[in-house]
Structure 1
C-alpha cells in the first residue's frame, strides 16, 4: 500500500472528548481548536501587522467608495442641473436624503461587504465564508428566524415613533406623493439591507476580528472586539447630539454582542437591516425625502430606540442560549453511533 505523503492535519481534543479539526482546511489558514468569532484570525500563521493593515484599509475603502459614489452623484447632478441632490448648508450637520442620494449612499456602504471579504482572504488566507459565521456559511435559517421575530416589533415601533417624532425621524420636508413614496420605498427596500450588511461586515466583522486578535487573554480580546470598532463606528457618523452618540454606540454594541453570542454576523445584519429599512420605509409614507440631522436638538427622541435595541439584544441572547446556538468553530468528528447534535448552526 503506498504511503500517504500529504501533510498531516493536527488534531486537538475538544472539551467533550471528541476530536476537532486542525489549523488548515484545504488551502485556508484557520484557527486551531474551538474558536469564537472575534478570535478567528488567530491561525498559526497569524501576523499582527496584517491586522493593523486591515484596520487602516477598511476606513480608507469606506472613504473612497463613499466619495466616488455619493460625491460623484452630487457632481453629475450639479453639472447637468438634474436636481437629484437637494442643496445643503455647509456645516449644519443636516443631510437630505433624496431617493438618488440614498441609493448612492447605500450602494457605497454596501461595497464594504466584498471589500471586507476580500481583505480577509488577501491578508489572512481565509475565504469569505468564514466571515459569515464560525461554521463557514451564512445561516439563513437563523437569519430568517430572527427577522420573523424582529420585523413586526419594528413595524409597530416605526409607525408610532415616526408619528410622534416627525422632526427626529426626518420627515418634516415636502409631503409624500404616490410617486415619491413608490420610488423611495423601492430604493429603501432593495438597498438599505445591503447598506446595513456593509457596515456589519466591516465593523462587527473584519474590524472586530482584527482588534480581537491583538490580545491573547480571551476577556481582553472580547473587550477590544466589542468596544473599539464601535467607537470608530460611532465617530465616523459625525454626531453632535449626546443622545445620538449614545444611540449609535448602543446600536453598534448590540450588533457586536449578537455576533459574539451567535457565532456569526447574520443576527447583527438582521437587526441593523430591520432597523434601518423599516424606519426609512415608514418615512417614505410621510415625506418625499428623509432628512438626517446629526446636530443637537432632537437626540432625546432616540431614547425609545435605545431601549428597544437593549431589549432586542437581550431577547436574541436568551433565544440563542435556549436553542443552544453553537458559537465556536470546530468541525467535530463524532464517534460511531453518537447521535447528531441538534443545535442550530
Structure 2
C-alpha cells in the first residue's frame, strides 16, 4: 500500500517503526501516571509491582486501554511518516470495511464458541489454561455485568490494536521492502507470538499459526477485517469467561501457556475460520468481476491497478 502512493522510501518503514514504539511508550506513560495519581488520591493500595491496585475489573480495563493506544499511534505513523492516508493501513480501500468486519465476526463467533466449549471438556486439573477460567466460583451478577460491559467496549479495541500493529504496520512495513508476501507474513507472526511471552512450545506454535494465517488473510482479502474479527471474538469470549469466575481476570496466563490439547483445538478453529473466509472471498471475487482502481484520495491510478494485481482480485 505504501508503493501505491508513490511516496514510498526504504527508510520510511524503519523510521515509522521507531515512531510507533516511541509514541506508544509516551502515551502509555501518560496514562499510567494519570491512573497512578488518581488511584493514590483515592486511597487505592499498591500491588507487588508498585502499581495502583484498582481491583480486577479496573486493572483489566487499564491493561486493555494501554494496548488500545496503539491504534491512533499506528494511524499517525502511517500519515506522518508514511506520508499516505492513514486508512491505507486498514485496507486497500483506504478504510476499515465495516460490512466485511461484521460478516467475518459472524463467521468467527460460532467457530470460536465451539472451540472454547471443546476446551472446557478437556480433562485437566480444574484450570483451563488460556481460556481464562480459574476455579469454579461464580462471581455473582452484580460483579459480572459491570465487568462484561467493560470488556464489550475495550476488548475489541485491544484486539484491533494488536492487529493494527502486527498485521497492519509491521506486515506493510516489511511488505514494502520485498516482493514475496510470505516474507512480509512470517516475521510479524513470530514477533506476535513473542510479544505474548514464552509459556509452552505448543502455545507459542498456536500463536505463530494465528499470526501466519491472520497475515495471509490480510493479504488475500486486502484488509485487516478478518484478522480483527477473529482476534476480537476470541478475546472477548475468553475474557467474558474469565470474568465469570473469582480470580479469573487476575490470571496472567495467555494463549502462550496453552497445553498441546488446547493448542490443537485452537489451531483447528483458526484453520477453519481461514478456510471459510477464503471460500467466501473467492465467491465475492467471482460475483464482482475485475475491480476498479482504489478509491483513496491522492492515489496514482496506474500504481493502484498494479497493486491490485499483487493483492488479487478480491477487493470490493
**2:201 & 2:29 partners in 1: Cα distance?**
27
Structure number, greater radius of gyration:
1
User: Partners in 2 of 1:313 and 1:69 — Cα distance?
Assistant: 36
Given candidates 202, 209, 219, the residue that maps to 2:172 is 209
Which of 90, 99, 104 does residue 141 from structure 1 map onto?
99
1:232 aligns with 2:191: yes
The C-alpha deviation readout for 1:11-57, integer Å capped at 9, x for no partner, is xxxxxxxxxxxxxxxxxxxxxxxxxxxx4345433211111111222
| Greater per-residue helix proportion | 2
Give the secondary-structure state (helix, strand or coil) at the position aligned to 1:155.
helix
Task: Output the CA distance in 2 between the equivalents of 1:163 and 1:109.
Answer: 31
Name the residue aligned to 1:177. 140
Give deviations 1:197-238, integer Å, cap 9, x for gaps.
Answer: 1111111111111111112xx22xx12220112222222222
Q: 1:238 to 1:296 in 2, by over 3 A?
A: closer
Provide the residue aligned with 2:309 in structure 1.
none
Cα displacement (A) at 1:63: 3.8
Deviation of 1:88 after TM superposition, in Å, equals 5.3
Structure 2 CA distance, aligned partners of 1:296 and 1:320?
30
Task: Tell me the TM-score normalised to structure 2 length.
Answer: 0.79
2:248 pairs with one of 289, 306, 309: 289
The TM-score, its normalising length taken from structure 1, stands at: 0.73
1:254 aligns with 2:213: yes
| Preserved CA contact (<8 Å) 1:110 1:195 | yes
Note the C-alpha offset of 1:76.
5.5
SS of 1:293's partner is coil
Q: RMSD over aligned Cα, in angstroms?
A: 3.2
Matches within 5 A, 1:1-345: 39-41=1-3, 43-69=5-31, 73=35, 77=39, 81-82=43-44, 87=47, 98-162=56-120, 164=122, 166-168=127-129, 169-172=131-134, 175-215=138-178, 218-219=179-180, 222-287=181-246, 289-290=248-249, 291-293=251-253, 298-300=258-260, 301-324=262-285, 330-331=293-294, 345=316
Distance 2:221 2:284 in 1: 10
Query: For this pair of structures, how many residues does the alignment match?
Result: 288
Shift of 1:72: 5.9
Deviation at 1:148, TM superposition (A): 1.6
Query: How far did residue 61 of structure 1 move?
Result: 3.5
Give 5+ residue unaligned stretches, structure 2: 295-300, 303-312
CA distance in 2, matches of 1:103, 1:144: 24
Offset, 1:66? 4.1
Structure with greater proportional strand content: 1
Rounded Cα–Cα distance in structure 2 between residues aligned with 1:53 and 1:194:
25
Q: 1: CA distance between counterparts of 2:25 and 2:155?
A: 19
Verify the 8 A CA contact 2:132 2:239 in the aligned structure 1.
Answer: no
Deviation at residue 289 of structure 1 after TM alignment: 3.3
Q: Secondary structure at the match of 2:246?
A: coil
Q: Conserved in 2, the CA contact under 8 Å of 1:258 and 1:268?
A: yes
